[in-house]
């Protein structure tokens, strides 16, 4: 949600190494970052704070446990966005989440999957609720380097938000 | 030379306890076929296809596909022989609609001599020939139906050998 | 309730199907607009779009694509530069597209295609062809082309048809069917040569009024005669009483310049009508008519192009009604004949066309019940008829034939004794010197029909078959009753064949009941394969007369031979490729053949058939026939038929044809020649270019001619419309 922008950021972790000179904190083991409805987890994270005090976090996964993030969306109904990737970069200055390599983003509505995107790189701007999928791990879009995919589930008729999808109606 | 009288359980008993004929009620072919099925013994004709073990589905009704084409002309260009044809395309389904006998065509033809001077008599002879083809067609259909291997069709115990039927 | 067009599955798209999008670069706001860059692809239920770039609006379910766009939808395939399609409504457009339709594999290219809905599309300045490949042999170019696969209709605005890039036909509007079903609009013009070679041109127009009604109009210009209008209407329908259907064809040519009226100053209008109608008034009651009439005696000679129409000179007009009880039927008919006397008969008496009696009316009653009162079958046939003839004796006849039989039937035997009485009474009008008279007769008949069925298993042509041997004896005893002064309104001697040797009366019709003390013997042997199908049938039959036959048609001298002619017949299809049919009637008293016919059919493969036939009837005809359809060389097929009269040493009927079968068109040409009188013959020629799925242009109707003359003929372009 947009309201997350002015919420405090809290981070839990097992171990912490701080390099005060470069203002770099390295967190290891069950890192959990929460900010309002935004929730990010990963086995390891490196956080740097820029002079104006904005944090820039890079969460990295280890074999088998990817870095994940989850955030509630504006708009009616119980709508959530969640994603996972081998490396996630988040800046609370721009509220931009970037997922690198084997990235996936899912949108859910009332616990039901409404659409799912996967590709090599996905960026998600929670303020403008815009996303972009690129086909290279660096985040640029290289021609001929494979394709991202998006699967959109049929929209639920507003008349029956939680009801099972109505049968195929004749045109 | 090996001939024997056709036995009771011979090639002629129908493998269905009940049968339905998919033809209009008043069609002479339907009347003749139903009569032969009843005369065969052991099979009753029902009026609804859902309660019949054997459903005869007529794909092309011979009453509607009769043809009369010119067979021979004489030297004055007058018709001296027509060819009458009477053919049916039918198949046999079971109660659930599974096909027991695939789409089968039986085509019969009879030549009929013709002369303008005997028009009215030839008209009646034509009717007799169509009736004869219809009787022949019914016999051939009965044999085809009797030849259907009854996988799971159940048969009532054979009726006691009544003298007439 | 409609005339039988091809059924087509309705094109319905599942609105709730999953939409899958793929591209090298995807961005946008979900539920708003998603843009796809490079190698974009969208798949939803029956629609798949591929393009360089695309964008998808989820709420409106709309896709736009640019840059070598390809779209597969419901079996149709389109390519183009730009596409806009709303998958919910099926509306949209495509710029300079090419298309290939599922129906008939039709294809073409255009400036633009507007999608109206799932079934309809309008092709703007485009082409249409059912030929495959980039350079179709023929194509149609039109400014507007409406393709409607839902109703199988294709209509085009100003249209030009190109064949090998040569424009061969231009029409203001042309309708064609996507799969050969019916559609309104101009049919292709048909230039032709009339029965005497007179040039003519007809441009038919077809009104597809409703699924169960249509009308085809044939305006025809015959330079030597004038302008002729033909119309053929068909209808099919249902009232609460039941089904009704009918077809009426009318041809009318006012002021025929070439016609000399029989009475000086008489009308020179030439017309003919052919109309049939059948209607159920209730489940048991139906009525109908069958009317044929023509304006004058020369009509068949001047206007017929087929063998059958040129020989029809006794035109029947009949109105009838039938009522069915549960075991009886009542029929009332009114019949009148128009005889088109053959003008040549003035010179050659043998060509005289006789005029049959009119039945004004004829009321038939038939009732029958089976297995009644312990196994009896009874039946009554009776008929009350008023016979009218301009030049012969008129009269009213009442005939009633009650009969009772007791069939004893078992699987291997049957014995059927039958007793019947033929009651007849005549009221004859006065005729010339004879004054009116009443006659009546009662002729009893006893018959005993019996037969056995023997079986054995044997082999024929290597296949296991069951061979039956069915001897049958049929005894008839009818006392002699003098019937020489009864007129013969509708009676004649029955031809002696297997269908009639087991009927009690040797005459057909009710004016003569043959006296009989005779025994008919027959032996039939059938070869039945495992499926019960008859692969071969052999039959022999002969009748033994124990008394002279005194009742004759006209003569009073009895016939005295003790044995009838012998009948032999063999018919069967003993292998996949070979079939034959033969029948012989041999007279032992005159020690020669009365009639025989042998036909053989060899069908070794697809579109390969050879028929040979020899037919002989003493004193009437002795014809040899050969007909064949055979592939000659690559795509060329030959078609031929010759019917040669050995008696008169001349060809009665011949047909020669060539067909070229390209993938999407068939060219037929040929000529047919048939004798119309002892000295004259008619030689219609035909050539026809049939563009599969579009229409056929050319002269005459060669397809019907070939189908009727060559048994086993197979159409080269199966499955394309009529």
Q: What is the pLDDT of residues A24-48, one digit of tens each?
A: 888 888 888 888 888 888 888 888 8
Residue matched to tokens 């089976």: C370
Rounded to the nearest angstrom, the minimum Cα separation between C82 and chain A is: 21
pLDDT at C216 over 90: no
C545-563 pLDDT, tens per residue? 999 888 888 877 888 888 8
Q: Once rounded to an integer, what is the mean pLDDT over residues B134-148?
A: 89
Q: Which of C12, C27, C90 sits opposite A132 (nearest CB)?
A: C27
Contact with chain B for residue C491, Cβ under 8 A: yes
Token pair of B60 as six digits: 């092309």
Neighbours of A20 (CB within 10 A): 7
Task: Give the span between the Cα atoms of A156 and A78, in whole angstroms.
Answer: 14
Q: What is the mean pLDDT of residues C484-496?
A: 90
**Nearest residue on chain B to C583, judged by CA atoms?**
B111
Nearest neighbour of C314 by CB, restricted to B4, B116, B129? B116
User: Which carries the bigger pLDDT value, residue C497 or residue C687?
Assistant: C497
Interface test with B, best of C532, C626, C683, C713 (most B CBs within 10 A): C532
Flag if C30 and A114 touch (Cβ within 8 Å).
yes
Name chain C's partners: 3 or more CB pairs within 8 A: A, B
C417 has a pLDDT exceeding 90 = yes
Q: State the average pLDDT over residues C668-684.
A: 79
What mean pLDDT value characterizes chain C? Answer: 86
Distances (CA, A) of C349 to A42, B120, C554: 114, 22, 21
The whole-angstrom distance between B96's CA and the closest CA on chain C is 22
Share in percent of chain C as helix, strand, coil (round to 5): 5, 60, 35
Distances in Å between the alpha carbon of A44 and those of A13, A65, A91, C576? 9, 10, 16, 80
Q: How far is CA A159 from CA A77, A169, C15, in A?
A: 13, 14, 16
> Is C18 within 8 Å of A154 when comparing Cβ atoms?
yes
Contact criterion met (CB below 8 Å) for C74 and C102:
yes
- Residue B129, chain C, CB below 8 Å: the answer is yes
Which residues in chain C are closer than 8 Å to A171, comparing Cβ atoms?
12-13, 15, 88-90, 117-118
List own/partner pairs for C129-135 with CB under 8 A and 24 or more apart: C129/C664, C130/C104, C130/C105, C130/C106, C130/C664, C130/C691, C130/C692, C130/C693, C130/C694, C130/C720, C131/C107, C131/C662, C131/C663, C131/C664, C131/C665, C132/C105, C132/C107, C132/C663, C132/C664
Q: Is B162 on the interface with C (CB under 8 A)?
A: no
Which has the higher per-residue pLDDT, B51 or C696? B51
- pLDDT over threshold 50, residue C721: no
Q: Which residue of C has its CA nearest to B32?
A: C370
How far B79 CA sits from the closest chain C CA (Å)?
7
B in contact with A (at least 3 C-beta pairs within 8 A): no
Query: By CA distance, what is A145's nearest residue in C?
Result: C24
pLDDT confidence band for A169 (50 / 70 / 90):
very low
Q: Does C623 touch chain B (CB under 8 A)?
A: yes
Tell which B residues from 62 to 121 touch C, by Cβ distance under 8 Å.
69-81, 109-113, 116-121
Given a cut of 50, whether residue A168 has pLDDT beyond it is: no
Q: Is the pLDDT higher at B8 or at B69?
A: B69
Pairwise CB contact (< 8 Å): A147 & C24: yes
pLDDT for the residue C249: 92
pLDDT value at residue C59: 82
Distance CA B63, CA B84 (A): 12
Count of residues in chain B: 165
Nearest 5°: phi and psi at C349?
-55, -30
* DSSP run (H or E) holding C632: strand C621-633
- Tokens of residue A108, six digits: 């859910």
User: In C, which residues are within 8 Å of B165 by CB distance?
Assistant: 371, 375, 409
Angle between helices B28-40 and B119-146 (to 10 degrees): 40
Say how many CB pairs under 8 Å bridge B and C: 170
Chosen from A106, A133, A165 to mutate, greatest number of chain C CBs within 10 A: A133
pLDDT on residue C69 = 93
Query: Mean of the pLDDT values across residues C284-307?
Result: 86
A:C CB pairs within 8 Å = 88
* Residue B132 to residue C647, Cβ atoms within 8 A: no
Q: What is the average pLDDT across C271-300?
A: 92
Are A141 and C24 in contact (CB < 8 Å)?
A: yes
The arithmetic mean of pLDDT across residues C162-170, rounded, is 81
Arithmetic mean of pLDDT, B99-113: 88
pLDDT, averaged across chain A: 79
pLDDT on residue B162:
40
Q: Which two tokens stand for residue C320?
A: 């009838």
Interface of C with B in 19-58 (CB under 8 A): none
Give the model's pLDDT for residue C151. 56
| Bridge partners, residue C376, by sequence | C372
Across the range C114-120, mean pLDDT stands at 85
Hey, which of B60-64, B110-114, C264-268, C302-306 has the most confident mean pLDDT? B110-114
Q: Which residue of B has its CA nearest to C328?
A: B26
> How much of chain C exceeds pLDDT 70, in percent?
91
Q: A99-119: per-residue pLDDT in tens? A: 888 888 888 888 788 888 888
Taking residues C95-101, report their average pLDDT: 90
- Please report all neighbours of A, defined by 3+ CB atom pairs within 8 A: C
C492 touches chain B (CB under 8 A): yes
% of chain C surpassing 90 pLDDT: 41
> What pLDDT does residue C241 have?
86
Give the separation between CA C699 and CA C688, rounded to whole angstroms.
6
Rounded to a whole number, what is the distance in Å from the CA of C356 to chain B's nearest CA?
Answer: 7
């Amino acid at each position: 949600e947009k309201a997350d922008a002015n919420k405090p950021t809290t981070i839990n972790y097992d171990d912490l190494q701080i390099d005060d000179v470069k203002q770099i904190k390295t967190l290891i083991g069950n890192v959990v970052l929460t900010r309002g409805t935004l929730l990010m987890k990963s086995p390891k994270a490196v956080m740097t704070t820029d002079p104006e005090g904005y944090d820039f976090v890079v969460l990295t996964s280890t074999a088998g446990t990817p870095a994940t993030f989850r955030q509630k969306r504006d708009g009616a109904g119980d709508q959530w966005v969640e994603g996972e990737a081998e490396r996630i970069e988040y800046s609370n200055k721009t509220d931009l989440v970037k997922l690198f390599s084997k990235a996936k983003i899912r949108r859910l509505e009332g616990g039901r999957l409404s659409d799912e995107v996967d590709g090599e790189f996905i960026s998600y701007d929670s303020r403008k609720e815009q996303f972009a999928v690129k086909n290279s791990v660096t985040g640029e879009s290289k021609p001929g380097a494979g394709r991202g995919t998006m699967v959109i589930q049929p929209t639920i008729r507003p008349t029956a938000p939680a009801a099972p999808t109505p049968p195929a109606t004749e045109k | 030379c090996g001939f024997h009288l056709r036995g009771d359980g011979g090639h002629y008993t129908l493998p269905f306890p009940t049968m339905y004929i998919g033809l209009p009620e008043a069609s002479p072919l339907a009347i003749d076929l139903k009569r032969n099925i009843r005369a065969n013994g052991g099979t009753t004709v029902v009026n609804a296809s859902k309660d019949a073990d054997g459903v005869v589905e007529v794909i092309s009704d011979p009453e509607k596909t009769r043809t009369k084409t010119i067979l021979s002309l004489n030297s004055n260009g007058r018709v001296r022989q027509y060819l009458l044809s009477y053919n049916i395309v039918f198949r046999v389904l079971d109660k659930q609609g599974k096909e027991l006998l695939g789409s089968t065509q039986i085509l019969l033809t009879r030549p009929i001599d013709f002369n303008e001077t005997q028009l009215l008599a030839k008209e009646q002879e034509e009717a007799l020939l169509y009736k004869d083809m219809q009787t022949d067609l019914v016999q051939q259909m009965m044999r085809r139906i009797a030849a259907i291997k009854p996988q799971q069709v159940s048969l009532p115990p054979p009726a006691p050998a009544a003298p007439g039927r | 309730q409609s005339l039988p067009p091809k059924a087509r599955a309705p094109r319905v798209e599942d609105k709730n199907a999953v939409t899958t999008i793929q591209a090298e670069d995807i961005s946008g706001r979900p539920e708003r607009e998603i843009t796809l860059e490079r190698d974009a692809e969208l798949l939803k239920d029956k629609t798949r779009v591929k393009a360089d770039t695309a964008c998808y609006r989820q709420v409106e379910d709309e896709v736009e694509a640019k840059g070598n766009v390809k779209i597969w939808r419901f079996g149709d395939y389109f390519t183009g530069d730009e596409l806009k399609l709303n998958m919910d409504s099926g509306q949209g457009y495509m710029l300079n597209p090419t298309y290939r339709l599922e129906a008939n594999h039709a294809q073409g290219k255009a400036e633009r295609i507007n999608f109206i809905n799932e079934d309809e599309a309008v092709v703007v300045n485009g082409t249409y062809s059912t030929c495959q490949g980039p350079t179709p042999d023929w194509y149609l170019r039109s400014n507007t082309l409406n393709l409607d696969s839902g109703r199988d209709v294709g209509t085009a605005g100003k249209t030009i048809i190109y064949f090998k890039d040569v424009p061969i036909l231009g029409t203001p509007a042309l309708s064609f069917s996507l799969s050969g079903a019916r559609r309104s609009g101009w049919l292709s013009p048909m230039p032709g040569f009339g029965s005497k070679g007179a040039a003519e041109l007809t441009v038919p127009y077809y009104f597809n009024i409703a699924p169960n009604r249509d009308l085809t109009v044939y305006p025809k210009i015959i330079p030597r005669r004038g302008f002729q209008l033909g119309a053929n209407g068909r209808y099919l329908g249902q009232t609460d009483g039941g089904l009704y259907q009918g077809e009426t064809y009318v041809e009318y040519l006012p002021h025929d310049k070439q016609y000399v009226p029989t009475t000086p100053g008489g009308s020179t209008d030439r017309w003919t009508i052919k109309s049939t109608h059948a209607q159920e008034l209730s489940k048991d009651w139906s009525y109908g008519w069958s009317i044929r009439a023509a304006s004058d005696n020369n009509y068949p000679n001047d206007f017929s192009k087929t063998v059958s129409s040129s020989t029809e000179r006794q035109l029947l007009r009949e109105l009838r009604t039938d009522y069915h009880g549960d075991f009886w039927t009542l029929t009332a008919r009114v019949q009148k004949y128009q005889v088109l006397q053959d003008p040549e008969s003035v010179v050659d008496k043998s060509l005289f066309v006789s005029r049959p009696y009119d039945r004004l009316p004829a009321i038939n009653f038939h009732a029958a019940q089976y297995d009644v009162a312990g196994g009896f079958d009874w039946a009554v046939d009776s008929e009350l008829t008023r016979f009218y003839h301009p030049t012969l004796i008129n009269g009213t006849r009442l005939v009633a034939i009650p009969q009772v039989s007791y069939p004893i039937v078992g699987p291997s035997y049957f014995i059927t004794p039958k007793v019947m009485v033929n009651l007849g009474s005549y009221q004859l009008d006065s005729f010339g010197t004879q004054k009116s008279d009443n006659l009546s007769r009662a002729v009893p008949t006893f018959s005993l029909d019996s037969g056995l069925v023997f079986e054995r298993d044997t082999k024929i042509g290597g296949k296991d078959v069951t061979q039956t041997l069915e001897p049958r004896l049929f005894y008839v005893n009818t006392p002699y009753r003098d019937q020489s002064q009864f007129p013969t309104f509708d009676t004649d001697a029955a031809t002696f064949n297997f269908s009639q040797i087991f009927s009690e009366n040797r005459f057909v019709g009710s004016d003569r009941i043959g006296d009989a003390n005779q025994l008919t013997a027959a032996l039939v042997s059938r070869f039945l394969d495992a499926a019960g199908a008859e692969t071969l049938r052999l039959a022999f039959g002969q009748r033994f007369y124990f008394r002279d036959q005194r009742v004759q048609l006209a003569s009073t001298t009895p016939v005295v031979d003790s044995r009838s002619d012998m009948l032999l017949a063999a018919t069967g299809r003993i292998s996949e490729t070979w079939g034959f049919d033969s029948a012989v009637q041999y007279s032992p008293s005159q020690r020669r053949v009365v009639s025989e016919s042998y036909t053989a059919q060899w069908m070794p493969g697809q579109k390969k058939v050879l028929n040979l036939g020899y037919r002989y009837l003493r004193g009437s005809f002795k014809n040899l026939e050969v007909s064949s359809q055979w592939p000659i060389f690559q795509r060329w097929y030959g078609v031929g038929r010759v019917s040669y009269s050995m008696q008169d040493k001349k060809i009665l009927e011949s047909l020669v044809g060539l067909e070229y079968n390209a993938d999407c068109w068939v060219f037929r040409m040929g000529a047919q020649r048939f004798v119309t009188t002892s000295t004259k013959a008619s030689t219609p020629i035909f050539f026809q270019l049939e563009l599969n799925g579009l229409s056929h242009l050319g002269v005459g109707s060669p397809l019907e001619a070939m189908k009727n003359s060559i048994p086993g003929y197979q159409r080269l372009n199966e499955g394309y419309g009529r």
